[in-house]
Amino acid sequence: MYFMKNKKLLYLLLLIVLWQIISMIVDQPQLMPDSISIFQKFWEEMINGKLWLYAFYSFAAIIIGLSISIILSLAIALLSIKYTWSMDFFKFLNSILHPLPGIAVLPVLIIWFGVGYSSIFALIIHSVLWPILTNLFSAIETFPKTLSKVGDNYEMGILKKFIFIYIPGTMPSFIAGIKTGWARAFRAVISAEMFFGIIGSSGGIGWYLVKKRAFLDTSGIFAGLIVIILIGMFLESFIFDRIEKLTLEKWGFKI
């Protein structure tokens, strides 16, 4: 593990050196700023508090949108366990809407919800809900009947069965759905912010990129990209990995 980490660090270093050499050859900072000035810019922007604030806005929007989506998907799953028509209906809806990229429905969302946070949330929900549902539905369909019968045997109602048997039992698919959904949401939010970003104090990282672009600040753009990469890595290797270790790996779903 330690060796692996070391190797990654080595690759990172190699990448930075390579970048530095190429940027020195190109010698056009608007096209390719050298790595030192990118890091300088990144540090500067972090220190004076602006960049992490932008990142925080995007991140907070995603977390809130993700939470709403999770609650919604659970409600739909519950309904679908109880009634077959609900499963059929949402599967149909899923087959229509799932393939639609978030950015493609954005114009419609803007017309319906305006240019504020409601549109961003609607966009995140669209991006996250369908992958989660796809995974949840297939998990519910292949869910062991015996486990459900065990619940019946102890006179558990549908809600109790859902909370204590279905949710933990479908956890692997659920987490896989959230992972796909999160990646989609992150992309969607950044594109949305770039598309109709709210300028000023309440804009996200996408808006930060728009501003840097408008003022031809290429190192600034790279600083923004670094933040996006860091957020992605943070969620992937800290949040999701940890959740998986605490659940799936422990339960033997994934070894």
Angstrom distances, CA of residue 125 to CA of 4, 64, 129, 181, 249: 36, 10, 5, 9, 28
Q: Based on the shown chain and the rule CB under 8 A, indicate whether residue 246 belongs to the binding site for another protein.
A: no
Residue 91's Cβ-count burial label (10 Å; 0-12, 13-18, 19+) is middle
Q: Which of residues 29-48 bind another protein (CB under 8 A)?
A: 29-31
Q: At what angle do helices 102-113 and 171-196 cross, to 10 degrees?
A: 70
Residue owning tokens 């969302």: 109
**Binding segment (CB under 8 A) for another protein, from list 18-26, 34-42, 158-166, 229-237:** 158-166
Identity at 193, one-letter amino acid code: E
Q: How far is the CB of 221 from another protein (least distance, A)?
A: 11
How many residues form the binding site for another protein (CB under 8 A)? 43
The single residue among 21, 150, 158, 159 that binds another protein, judged by CB under 8 A, is: 150
**Nearest approach, Cβ of 2 to another protein (angstroms)?**
27
- The token pair at 114 is 């305006």
Looking at the Cβ atoms of 38 and 129, the one nearer to another protein is 38
Give buried/exposed letters for 139-157 (b at 16+ CB in 10 A, else e). bbeebeeeebeebeeeebe
Identity of the residue, 5 or 149, whose beta carbon is nearer to another protein in the bound complex: 149
210 is a site residue for another protein (CB under 8 A): yes
Inter-residue contact 127 to 184 (CB < 8 Å):
yes
Using the rule CB under 8 A, which residue among 198, 225, 226, 231 binds another protein? 198
Site string for another protein, 161-180 (x = CB under 8 A): ---xx--xx-x---------
* 101 lies in the binding site for another protein (CB under 8 A): no
Euclidean distance between CA atoms 140 and 150, whole angstroms: 16
Give contact residues for another protein (rule: CB under 8 A): 29-31, 114-116, 144, 146-147, 149-150, 152-156, 160, 164-165, 168-169, 171, 196-202, 207, 210-211, 213-218, 247, 250-253
